[in-house]
Amino acid sequence: MAILKIRKWGDPILKTRAAEITEVTEEIRRLAADLLDTMRSESGVGLAANQTGVGIRLFVAEVLKENGPAETYALVNPRLVFQSKQKETKEEGCLSFPGIYGKVERALDVEIEGKDLDGHSIRLRGHGLLARAFQHEMDHLDGIVFIERMGMAQRLLLKKTLAELASETRSRMKKASLKSG
Ligand code: ZN
């Protein structure tokens, strides 16, 4: 198990649609375990594989319960099959956008289908925070980030901070490629 490096806003992989997984292999299971470790180390509720530089359709999510064990999920090739008309607007954050939060409207209830880490088809239901996490992570796999789900006013407020983060990420990537090249 390992803590992976999380790609930040400005990295083009966050705007790239992730590829379908053809077979759930040991490598995929290992990556899912690493994604969980990484997500927990950052106190996140979800993490998509492409946020760690691996452009495949896999995400993990975990919601802590007040009483009882945490609900932990790892989904391969997830598809949204139901989205409630009832919406909820709440503040949201993203591990690829450290320190940046904004209000995002999401469906209150969703159902998703996909494969579990044994390659079996599953259908999951999410409500509230879990539904929000599912929608946020599935967006990541399509190359959509949460700021694109915010209202115009909210995005305008964050414009400068986002530009700074993107330019910081790009200069860090440039330095890394100079080092390796
Ligand atoms: Zn995110």
| Alpha-carbon distance values, 133 to 25, 125, 159 (Å) | 25, 12, 24
Query: Which among 20, 23, 105, 137 is annotated as catalytic?
Result: 137
Length of the chain, in residues: 181
**Under a CB-based contact definition with an 8 Å cutoff, are residues 59 and 75 in contact?**
yes
Q: Is 111 a catalytic residue?
A: no
Determine the pLDDT at residue 181. Answer: 67
Determine the pLDDT at residue 100. Answer: 96
Give per-residue pLDDT as tens, 22-34.
Answer: 999 999 999 999 9
Residue 180 in this model has a pLDDT that exceeds 80: no
More confident: 176 or 105? 105
The CA 86 to ligand 1 mean position distance, Å, reads 22
In a 3-state reduction of DSSP, which class is residue 106?
strand
In a 3-state reduction of DSSP, which class is residue 143?
coil
**Alpha carbon distance 61, 7 (integer Å):** 17
The CA 136 to ligand 1 mean position distance, Å, reads 6
Give per-residue pLDDT as tens, 56-74.
Answer: 999 999 998 888 788 899 9
DSSP designation for 57: S
The CA 98 to ligand 1 mean position distance, Å, reads 10
Give per-residue pLDDT as tens, 107-153.
Answer: 999 999 999 999 999 999 999 999 999 999 999 999 999 999 999 99
The CA 139 to ligand 1 mean position distance, Å, reads 8
Nearest to 14, CA basis, from 133, 91, 95, 110: 95
